[in-house]
């Protein structure tokens, strides 16, 4: 078994999360306006396709709570599944098949996300380089930005959504060359046994972490699903509204490096709390200020905090889990996925009921602020 350098681990993890999240999860967001033009896909139809993907993500997370994702086969299988389901989206026009494919992509994305997160966090911590976790999670924003730029380019040449899906699938397949040899070489240690008292302590922390991470899923997913559509409603020119998603992804990349540095100084929980407050402001911004500038501002604030929320919350889980991070991460991911399933459907129903996007955005913003308060009150030294 070859010795793997920390830099190679971080870069391979970044590439893996770019595929798992930027393509398997979020490529749908910038492609949705293209599908609206190509097939007349409605907002509620887009909501159901998004929620199908999130339901698959939930299913994958639930599998991971009972099945430790330690084998190389999970990495290779989930990566190939993301590539195959993404490319196949561009080979059919059947709505039900789209829903099945988005569900399958969600399952694969969850398995891949949990496996990569656990492997990379463990390997980098063992090698004394936990700050490089920021590089790994920058993969999410990198994938989001790349998918957005791809769609922006294709729209400039009047290429349809089918080409976007096919090219994204090919990119995911190509990433296997980078990811599998490196991450597959990491040997995970056996989880140490813990006492009953330690398990009880983990359980007390776990409930709050699972709840607040679930709120994160509901809170960010509405703008993360509909930002390009919201921008298109303000400015019809693709050269303008198409930038909302690359901005979202670029903010996610930059913020992970800033957050990794700040977390070392003030703690992961504090950064998590601050992220929820800033995310709430970003979610509510299009409600307060109409226009493209507010949508771009929302992209910056939500994009700049949703990966940070993931990175810091999973680090908190690592700190309190005492060697059992994989199951706690899986449980948190399941709650996150449940929030994501509910979010687009609620937003779509409120939109059809005449509330526009504002109804869902206000609800999401309030829940994010509530979760920040809960995390702050539960912090060591605060009165509960």
Residue 179, domain member (yes or no): yes
- The domain that holds 354 is classified in CATH as 1.20.1250.20
Per-residue DSSP letter, 130: G
Does a structural domain hold residue 303?
yes
Taking 70 as the threshold, does the pLDDT of residue 187 lie above it? no
pTM of the complete model: 0.79
The helix/strand count (H/E) of the chain reads as: 14, 0
Percentage of the residues of the chain whose pLDDT score is greater than 70:
88
Tokens of 127: 């090698």
**Is the alpha carbon torsion for 60, 61, 64, 65 positive or negative?**
negative
At 357-369, the pLDDT tens digits run: 788 889 999 999 9
Asked, for residue 296, whether it belongs to a domain, the answer is yes
Cα 114 to its chain centre, rounded Å, is 11
CA dist 15 to 85, 170, 171, 182, 358, Å? 18, 14, 11, 11, 35
Instruction: Measure the CA–CA gap between 343 and 79, rounded to whole angstroms.
Output: 26
CA dihedral 63, 213, 283, 47 (to 10 degrees): 20
Domain contains 216: yes
Per-residue pLDDT tens digits for 56-76: 988 988 887 777 666 677 888
Question: Which residue in the block uniquely carries the two structure tokens 């290429």?
Answer: 159
Main-chain phi, psi angles of 347, to 5 degrees: -60, -40
Residue 195: the pLDDT is 46
- The answer to whether position 383 is within a domain reads no
Whether residue 66 is contained in a domain is answered as: yes
Overall average pLDDT of the 240-257 stretch: 81
Residue 190 has pLDDT above 70, yes or no: no
- In eight-state DSSP terms, residue 70 is -
- The answer on pLDDT for 203 being more than 60 is no
Q: Tell me which of 254 and 71 has the higher pLDDT.
A: 254
Locate tokens 């979610």: which residue?
Answer: 283
Could you tell me if 305 and 224 are in contact, meaning their C-beta atoms sit under 8 angstroms apart? Answer: no
The string of DSSP codes covering 245-267 is HHHHHHHHHHHHHHHHHHHHHH-
**pLDDT single digits (tens) 103-157:** 999 999 989 888 888 888 888 888 888 778 888 988 988 988 888 889 889 988 8
| Domain span at 364 | 6-186+195-377
Reported as a single tens digit per residue, the pLDDT across 279-301 is 999 889 888 887 788 888 888 99
Looking at the domain assignment, is residue 382 inside a domain? no
Is residue 384 a part of any domain in this protein? no
Confidence of residue 324 (pLDDT cuts 50, 70, 90): low
At 384 the pLDDT is 47
Counted domains in the chain: 1
Note the pLDDT of residue 201.
Answer: 44
């Amino acid at each position: 078994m070859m010795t793997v350098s920390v830099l190679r681990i971080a870069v391979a993890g970044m590439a893996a999360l770019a595929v798992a999240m930027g393509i398997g999860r979020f490529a749908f967001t910038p492609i949705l306006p293209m599908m609206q033009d190509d097939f007349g896909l409605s907002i509620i139809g887009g909501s159901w396709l998004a929620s199908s993907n999130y339901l698959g993500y939930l299913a994958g997370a639930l599998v991971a709570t009972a099945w430790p994702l330690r084998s190389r086969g999970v990495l290779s299988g989930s990566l190939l599944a993301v590539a195959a389901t993404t490319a196949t989206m561009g080979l059919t026009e059947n709505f039900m098949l789209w829903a099945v494919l988005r569900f399958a992509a969600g399952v694969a994305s969850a398995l891949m996300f949990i496996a990569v997160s656990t492997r990379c966090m463990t390997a980098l911590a063992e090698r004394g380089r936990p700050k490089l976790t920021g590089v790994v999670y920058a993969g999410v924003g990198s994938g989001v930005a790349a998918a957005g730029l791809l769609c922006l380019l294709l729209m400039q040449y009047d290429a349809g959504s089918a080409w976007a899906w096919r090219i994204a699938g090919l990119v995911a397949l190509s990433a296997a060359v980078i990811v599998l040899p490196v991450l597959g070489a990491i040997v995970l240690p056996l989880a140490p046994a813990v006492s009953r008292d330690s398990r009880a302590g983990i359980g007390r922390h776990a409930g709050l972490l699972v709840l607040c991470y679930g709120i994160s899923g509901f809170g960010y997913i509405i703008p993360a699903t509909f930002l390009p559509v919201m921008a298109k409603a303000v400015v019809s020119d693709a050269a303008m509204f198409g930038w909302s998603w690359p901005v979202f992804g670029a903010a996610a990349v930059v913020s992970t490096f800033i957050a990794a540095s700040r977390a070392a100084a003030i703690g992961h929980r504090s950064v998590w709390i601050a992220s929820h407050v800033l995310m709430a402001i970003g979610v509510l911004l299009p409600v307060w200020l109409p226009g493209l500038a507010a949508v771009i501002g929302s992209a910056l604030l939500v994009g700049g905090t949703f990966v940070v929320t993931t990175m810091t919350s999973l680090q908190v889980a690592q700190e309190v889990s005492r060697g059992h991070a994989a199951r706690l991460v899986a449980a948190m991911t399941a709650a996150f996925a449940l929030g994501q399933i509910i979010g687009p459907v609620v937003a779509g129903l409120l939109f059809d009921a005449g509330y526009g996007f504002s109804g869902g955005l206000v609800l999401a913003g309030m829940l994010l602020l509530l979760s920040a308060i809960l995390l702050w009150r539960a912090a060591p030294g605060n009165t509960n």
